[in-house]
Amino acid sequence: MNSIWKNSAEMPRFPKLEKNIRTDILIIGGGIAGILTAFFLDKKGADYVLVEKDNICGGVTENTTAKITVQHKLIYSKILKEKGIDAARDYYRANTEALRKYAELCSETDCDFEYRDSYVFSRENRDALEQEVHALKKIGCKAELVNDIPLPFCVEGAVKIPGQAQFNPLKFLSSVSKGLNIYENTKVTEFLDDIVITSGGKIKAKKIIITTHFPILNKHGSYFIKLYQSRSYVIALQNAPELNGMYIEDTENGLSFRNFKDLLLIGGGGHRTGKKGGNFTELRRFYKKAYPEAKEIAHWATQDCMSLDGIPYIGQYSARTPSLYTATGFNKWGMTSAMAAARLLSDLATGKSSPYEKLFSPSRSILTPQLAVNSAEAITSLLTPSVRRCPHMGCRLVWNKEEHSWDCPCHGSRFSESGKLLDNPSNNDLL
């Protein structure tokens, strides 16, 4: 069940840490956010080290749909309503700058970078699309509402933003990561103020950046209540049409589409980790009816950290940790969010300010309806009797029949049938 990206790119390998070291900046986590942060620190001439417990890009990064877009469903009308025009404009600018930086870096490497128009479509809510177009135009985005798109069902319309992009993320990261100061197979086991204990030695650091998808340190920041995780699924098809764009449905667990070379990638079937959902079954039912001549050649699943308000948490880990930073809660938009995070974190870690600190601050208000949902799920899971419990915080584990895994509905940790850790925030296998 490997993604097409994993099968098309050869990643560089790095040594394991086998001694005690010192560094100004330690990055923990070797996905796209961590690698890009290391890349920008390297360009600044900073003293840094990145450690990854397995191999770089072996988790969520290799399972993305790899859309590089400022269009994150209908986010701008939501931000405009809840946080005001300055916040909506800053969100747009941060992601626009991320897109431009990708274009610049991808021009220097063969990573299948292509410009594509992006669309958010709705099957039943044209009013929401109109509100989004209004919000986008208000902040200076050239968006438009279109009536027809080349999908095999009727829609009420779609919000179109031209000039977005797609690429092969592992080909890109294979190039970007070469020559960086990285240690693989180096697991962090303990934090002792400015000393981090790993499986290969101690690291003394002045500043620490945690980019482990879901933050692994529970002591600060309350991420165990500010985040939940969502599963989603992708099928790659041959003998399916070229759609000439990137498409995603406005509903929480709707369908998404993009082409890659001669393949059509269809995503969907999503659900909160540990809950029931459509999974691959829903996607296969759809494509066999919509594209009966198509042939499935690959399928894979991924997992996303979802923030309380739809905006990532990027910056100081908590109000009480001035030398500790994180990037998480990318809400299914990991490509532009990772680039925005890397640029922001590399500035903060080297003593520079950023106009986006306030927008992405992990210490912003958590009083949202999603907080109540997360709290209720945690309480229910903690109080429900179960043979298997998650090492992270003791929540019950639920058997996932589709993927043959033990999943945590509280925070999204996942384990194989034999108990091997598949997804964090747990840092340990099942006993």
- Give the pLDDT mean for 170-181: 97
Confirm if 158 and 247 have CB atoms less than 8 A apart.
yes
The dihedral through the CA atoms of 381, 415, 197, 328 has a sign that is negative
| Span 366-407, pLDDT tens digits | 888 898 888 888 888 877 877 789 999 889 999 998 899 999
Q: Is the pTM of this model over 0.85?
A: yes
Arithmetic mean of pLDDT over the chain: 95
6-64+171-225+309-360: CATH topology: FAD/NAD(P)-binding domain (3.50.50)
What is the distance between the alpha carbons of residues 96 and 184, in angstroms, rounded to a whole number?
A: 32
According to the model, what pLDDT value does residue 172 have?
97
Kindly report the length of the chain: 431
pLDDT digits (tens, 9 = 90+) for 136-167: 999 999 999 999 999 999 999 999 999 999 99
Contact status, residue 101 vs residue 112, Cβ threshold 8 Å: no
Q: Is the pLDDT of residue 1 over 90?
A: no
Continuous H helices in 263-411: 279-290, 334-349, 357-360, 369-383
- Per-residue pLDDT tens for 328-364? 999 999 999 999 999 999 999 999 999 999 999 999 9
Name the segment(s) of the chain with CATH classification 2.102.10.10: 369-423
What are the backbone dihedrals phi and psi of residue 255, each rounded to the nearest 5 degrees, phi first? -90, 155
The Cα–Cα gap between 410 and 398 comes to 10
- In percent, the amount of the chain with pLDDT more than 90 equals 88
Q: Is the pLDDT of residue 118 over 80?
A: yes
For 358, the token pair is 């306030």
Please give the CATH architecture assigned to the domain spanning 369-423.
3-layer Sandwich (2.102)
Percent of the chain with pLDDT over 70: 100
CB-CB contact of 13 with 174 (8 Å): no
Write out the residue limits of the CATH 3.50.50.60 domain(s) in the chain: 6-64+171-225+309-360
CATH number of the domain located at residue range(s) 228-305 in this protein: 3.30.70
Q: What is the pLDDT of residues 221-252, one digit of tens each?
A: 999 999 999 999 999 999 999 999 999 999 98
Mean pLDDT (whole number) for 278-286 = 95
Q: What is the pLDDT of residues 22-32, one digit of tens each?
A: 999 999 999 99
CATH 3.30.70 occupies which residues in the chain?
A: 228-305
Distance, CA of 308 to CA of 306 (rounded, Å): 7
Q: How confident is the model at residue 114 (pLDDT cuts 50, 70, 90)?
A: very high
